[in-house]
Structure 1
Amino acid sequence: MSTDTSASLDAPAGAQGGESGQPISTKTVEPKDIPDVSHAMNDDQWKRLRKKVAARNKKLTARMLFGKPAIGGNVYRWGLATSLDAKVDPLRDALSQLACDQKPKRRKSSRPIDFVEPAKQIIDRLARCPSDTVACHDAILWAAAMPMLAKQFEPALWWDLLGTLQQYRESTLQTTAPASPSLLIGGAELGLTLAWRLADLPSCQRLKKSSIESFRRWVERNEEALPMLLSEPSNVRLVLGSLLRCKRLIEKTTKQKSNLSAASIGDEIATWAAAMTTPDGTAAFSQQSPKEITDDLKDYGVLMQATEFAPSSLHPAMQAALGQGHSGGRLAWEVSLPESFCHCEQAKQAILLPEWDVRRGRTHLQYSGIHNTIELHAGRSMIAAGKIETTIEIDGEPQEPIGEWTFTCEHTDDDVHYLEIEQVWSGGVVLQRQWLLIREDRCLVFADSVMPKMPLESDDKNRKILYRTRFPTTEDVSVVSETETREVFLTTGKPKALVMPLSASEWSSGPTMATLSSTDDDALVVEAVGSGALYCPLWFDFQTNRFKRKRTWRNLTVADERRICPAREAVGYRVQIGSEQWMLYRSLGNRRSRTVLGKHLIADFFAARFDMGDGNLEELVTVDDNESNDG
């Protein structure tokens, strides 16, 4: 790239004015005798510019701007390891320290980093205008480090880097979708950073107004911006960090305050970040170790710093997510907490928490691919992780999914979180999947229905369906089968979950329409057969103090006008562990009034807790709620 950057400094390359196409005002106070171009600057002017930049940055250092998070460059590494899905490399680590006015720390066995060659590489890389969030964040690192780099670089390289950063920002503003997180980082924050760090250069100072406007536009598009961010959940913490830095840059370098829209989207992103935090502090669906993401977890890490968007609710939620606090009484605890069910239909992400305390377990779900991806925690232990793979055969012919998973129904309250999704398959069938978390009881129902897209004709009622699903467990989980019954325990040295295949016969001897087994790598495999339609639920119990109690489950009789319904029309199940009992009902055919366990229902799905004292059913959730109250 040419070192003649006159065009890029007085007006970003490729533009004859500001982002709106209007001429840029040049009334900014300019350093005397210091041209805002590299080729017109002599050695004395370069020295004076460096002194002015250094003097100005002493008036508003990174420590003054960001507080304790600036120590060691922490503020510029927020969420970076999670986005990289790797440990922050030495170059980015060193740049983050330069960005906070500190000399990079040297390890005994390492040489000092020479930034010249990496600067040339970032110039070439940004010239190609990459749009990913990590590239945008790398531009921020170099921009914030420019005052310190002026002490190390020859003028030509320094100006070339500055011109490239300005060109990259302009390209980001012109080509990036308005709700993209890259617009926040590579447009708004990059301009604010250059305006703060290099305010003595008119071409940088002019960026402030348009950057504030870009920030305002992004935060006000929260209905689009949040789903776009969640479609790549590894970037949640990185974008949250950028939002925090922009907020503080605006408040500290201007007389303006970030608006209510910034607080609103900040609250939403921080809530998702907390919900996606696993018991060891890492982010859901990431591969880092806790040591690699310490920048996010400290008191001045991005998670706790983000609680400023809504302190009364986010602070206890974040503490609970990080295992630093616990309920001490569930009702009092949840009064000020955010909703513990997070679902974004557009991004196809869902998180089901029994409560915010991470020690109570959590379920993370992605359904944007052909297969669902799951992370299932029993308390602090992750017992399942990976893709849930399903196969379906109809009359011996393998079928394939022919559509994406789509959201069909959800419900959340103090008793349950319920999510229902479905996928169209070949063979004229739909695979409908239910996730039901019974919060206080710490039980999870994972259930699949294979149903015809159209009402069954007489010839279709006998079509044989063979269903098989592989449910992935983690490496340290072993599947231990009971000797006499078909349930299994998932253990990590100690039992962590009890799994009951409700559509299977309880006793291991004798005929059954479903089985639950394990593979050589201890994945769970559930198989079921049916005619016309079938329902296959798995019941997960995470309450360890129930594991030694007597337990059983039963297939209930479902009646339709004194006629016993076949399994292709409707099914019911009763689960008992000790003195606690629950009931499930699922309709697979036409919606009709049916009776199960003395309850008259017109519903697609019904779940209840059975009171052993008075024999009544306490409703937990009803889908398509048109049930009669008699019975």
Structure 2
Amino acid sequence: MSIDTSSSTQPPPPFDPPSVHAPPPSSLPSAQRNGLRQKLQKRAQRHSAKSVFGKSAIGGNVYRWGVAVALGDEIDSLRIAMSQLACDQKPKRRLSTRPLDYAKQTRAAIEHFATYPFDTVRAADAVVWCAAMPSLSNVLEAGLWWDLLGALLHYHESILQEATAESPLQLLVGAELGLTMAWRLADVPSCKRQRKSSLACLDRWSEHREDSVPALLSDLPSMRLALASLYRCRAILSSTTKKKKTFPKDAMLAGQTIATWVAALTTPDGGCAFQTMKRKDVMDDLNDFGLLSRSADFDPESLKPAISATLKRSPKAGKPPHAGRLAWEVSLPDSYHHCDKAKVAALLPQWNVWRGRIDLQYSGMQNSIDLFAGRVKALSGEMETKIAVDSRPQTPTSGWTYSCEYTDDDVHYLELEQSWTGDIVLQRQFMLLREDRCVMIADSVLSQSEEKSEEKIDYSMRLPIAESVSIDPEAETREIFLAGRKRQAMLVPLAAAEWRIGASTAALEPDERGDLMMTNSGRGALYAPLWLDFQPRRFKRKRTWRQLTVADERRICTSNEAVGFRIQAGSEQWMLYRSLGLRRCRTIMGKNLVADFFAARFDMGDAEYEDLVTVDDREQMDD
């Protein structure tokens, strides 16, 4: 794969500060050109990439961090070769059947850095080409070498003029590209002068981390590129200056946050959430001197055990941790992560990747989900939702906003909301029971008008089944299993009747696309909960679920007022309650509730409820 040299739709902005451009090759005598090349070689030997990055520079590894994830594919031979040149090493001939045509690739690179849009992959390419400039001075004709340097300087100046303070380009280009010029090409005056402006860019980007981090989360494939850039900036500053404190405190805090998010969004195969990557393609990020291991330096106390768990290592022996609770997880970061600005969430029962996780994006009109049953991906894609009122299709009128969240040792809970035409609101709940290895995904369709309380609502949601699993329905009851080499997850449509024989207003069935379609209908309001069980030992137990009676002053509530459910697998039981109408005191299984949502675990031995989560909008309603 070669560098993309597609034509730009808009030319770079004109600028002509003479101090920025490299001097034209014709203005330098041959002896001076040779002298400059020798200086560059000597500097590269004294301040080599290995002296700055340590063992991460071997094979050019440090300059390939995050590239595969950003590309969504394996790294091409040209980028591998350039990363090796950037680390003062000769490219391995086995990377390509033919030797690289450096002149041709350099001309393509010059055009590459002059085209729009300016994206993070292009920025990372610019950093690598800049770091490779000392090595390229031995293989390129002098005029072409200077043209490349001019293109890099022009690209750097364009980003300084255009990129906003929180843009990742401020970090990758404004900060790192400038620092790389000042480090690798300090014998060129126009490059040496980049250090001051680059430090200002680093300060500006990190001071705006409350916006910089969400900007990265809005472009998940770029997160690793930014984390790699931040690490290299820190290494360059610590190796090329005598001052002890050169790396800004705000940049250190940003590194901690980004490294935690990167670890939380790392899938069991080593890739990033919402992607399908082969582990061999991202090994530059995962090896002993790779990005994830090195990024723990931003906060060793908490990040080292978290990343060890993410990489399936114990902190000492380097072996996969036991499938149960990690004995050393007391020092781990929180396992619930949510950024409402970027509309991204990661819900982990534990940092141990063997325990599964939920990754969620809700920036679009439809939610995107990656849900793992242990190491196996069970759901992956958009949760397409359709609603009709009295047979009239409705559409969303707003994006998703989060309305409630809660986390503790037992549960992670996130609630979202979206307005629709027809004067209705769709509320969606994600609840992860951490120890029980269960998940609930539930939708409430609520009418905003009392006059429409009798209108019929038809609801459906497509559950995107991952390619790694197949659908395995039970023959007589309505549970559906997702299976890889063995059964990985059990899905229970709680609003549906348990037995397939007989009528039911709700259903969960395979569709023509190979996904699952959950449907329900009601009048005025409805509740469509889906219970997912990821604990294989419960799959063979006797189980059942029931819709419970909810009473309001000795009156049985209708299904558009409030509903309750009981789920049982062997001796383990759970109870759910959801209010759909006016907030009132109601009774379910002998328990009085004044809440919008309630979930509990029932201890059959003590005959007591263990409250898991209670959602109460009383304060909002009083306001």
Question: Given the two structures, how large is their TM-score scaled by the length of structure 1?
Answer: 0.92
Please list, as runs of the form range in 1=range in 2, the aligned pairs for 1:48-447 lying within 5 A after superposition.
48-107=35-94, 110-128=97-115, 130-256=117-243, 257-325=246-314, 326=321, 330=325, 332-447=327-442
The root-mean-square deviation of aligned C-alpha atoms, in Å, is 1.8
CA deviations over 1:232-290 (Å, ceiling 9, x no partner):
10111111100100011111112343122122111111111111111111111123211
Q: 2: distance between equivalents of 1:507 and 1:103? A: 67
Displacement of 1:363 in angstroms is: 0.9
- Count of residue pairs brought into register by the alignment: 598
Distance 1:515 1:104 in 2: 58
Q: What do residues 396-438 of structure 1 show as CA deviations (whole Å, max 9, x unaligned)?
A: 1111112111111111110100011111111111111100000
Q: Is the 8 A contact 1:320 1:357 kept in 2?
A: yes
Q: For 2:186, what is the secondary structure of its paired residue? A: coil
8 Å CA contact retained: 2:231, 2:295: yes
Structure 1: distance between partners of 2:228 and 2:471? 40
Q: CA deviation at 1:493?
A: 2.9
Is the contact made by 2:86 and 2:129 (CA closer than 8 Å) also made in structure 1? Answer: yes
Distance, in Å, in 2 between the alignment partners of 1:255 and 1:109 is 41
CA change 1:122–1:130 in 2 (3 A) is farther
Deviations 1:572-596 (A, max 9, x none): 1111111111111111112111111
Matching of residues 445-464 of structure 1 within 5 Å: 445-452=440-447, 454-457=448-451, 460-464=452-456
Deviations 1:313-342 (A, max 9, x none): 111111111122326873743310010011
Counterparts of 1:286 and 1:331, CA distance in 2: 27
Q: Distance in 1 between matches of 2:26 and 2:95?
A: 40
Q: Is the 8 A contact 1:501 1:538 kept in 2?
A: yes
- The equivalent of 1:563 in structure 2 is 555
Among 568, 575, 593, the alignment partner of 2:567 is: 575
SS in 2 for 1:351: strand
Query: Is the contact made by 2:378 and 2:465 (CA closer than 8 Å) also made in structure 1?
Result: yes
Retained in 1: the 8 A contact 2:482–2:488? yes
- Native 8 Å contact 1:477 1:522 kept in 2: no
Aligned counterpart for 2:34 among listed residues 47, 57, 60: 47
Q: Distance in 2 between matches of 1:421 and 1:328?
A: 31
Q: Which of 580, 598, 604 pairs up with 2:596?
A: 604
Contact 2:369 2:383 in 1 (8 A): yes
* 8 Å Cα contact 2:482/2:490 also seen in 1: yes
Q: Is 1:552 paired with 2:544?
A: yes
Distance between the aligned counterparts of 2:241 and 2:491, measured in 1? 58
Could you say what secondary structure the match of 1:427 adopts? coil
Q: Shift of the alpha carbon at 1:127?
A: 2.3
1:534 corresponds to: 526
Conserved? CA contact 2:338–2:345, under 8 Å: yes
Q: What is the CA distance between 1:38 and its match in structure 2?
A: 2.6
**Pair 1:510 & 2:505 matched:** no
Does the residue aligned with 1:67 lie in a helix, a strand or coil?
A: helix
1:527 CA drift (Å): 0.7
Aligned to 2:317: none
How far off is 1:108 after superposition?
Answer: 7.9
Q: Secondary structure at the match of 1:431?
A: strand
Separation in 2, partners of 1:391, 1:330:
39
Identity of aligned residues (%): 53
The letter for the 2-side match of 1:402 is T
3-state SS in 2 of match to 1:304: helix
Q: 1:493 aligns with which of 473, 485, 492?
A: 485
Take 2:468 and 2:513, find their aligned partners in 1: how far apart are those partners?
Answer: 10
CA contact (8 A) 2:400 2:416 kept: yes
The answer as to whether partners of 2:377 and 2:468 remain within 8 angstroms in 1 is: no
Letter in 1 for 2:609: L
Tell me how far 1:626 sits from its aligned partner: 6.1
Segments of structure 2 that go 5 or more residues without pairing to the other structure are 1-13, 315-320
CA distance, structure 1, for counterparts of residue 358 and residue 497 of structure 2: 27
Bigger Cα displacement from structure 2, 210-219 vs 94-103 = 210-219
- SS state of the match for residue 331, structure 2? coil
Q: For residue 371 of structure 1, report the CA deviation from its aligned partner.
A: 1.3
1:614 and 2:599 are equivalent in the alignment: no
Displacement of 1:128 after TM fit?
3.2
Q: Amino acid of the residue matched to residue 270 of structure 2? A: G
Query: Structure 2-normalised TM-score?
Result: 0.93
Kindly state the Cα deviation for residue 613 of structure 1 after the two structures are TM-superposed: 1.9
Cα distance per residue 1:517-542 (max 9 Å; x no partner): 11245311111010000000000000
Q: Deviations 1:516-569 (Å, cap 9, x if unpaired)?
A: 111245311111010000000000000101111111111111111222111111
> What amino acid maps onto 1:512 in structure 2?
S
Classify the secondary structure of the residue corresponding to 1:363: strand
Q: C-alpha separation between the residues in 2 aligned to 1:583 and 1:192?
A: 58
Q: Deviations over 1:65-96 (max 9, x none)?
A: 00111111110000001101111111111111
- The AA in structure 1 aligned to 2:250 is S
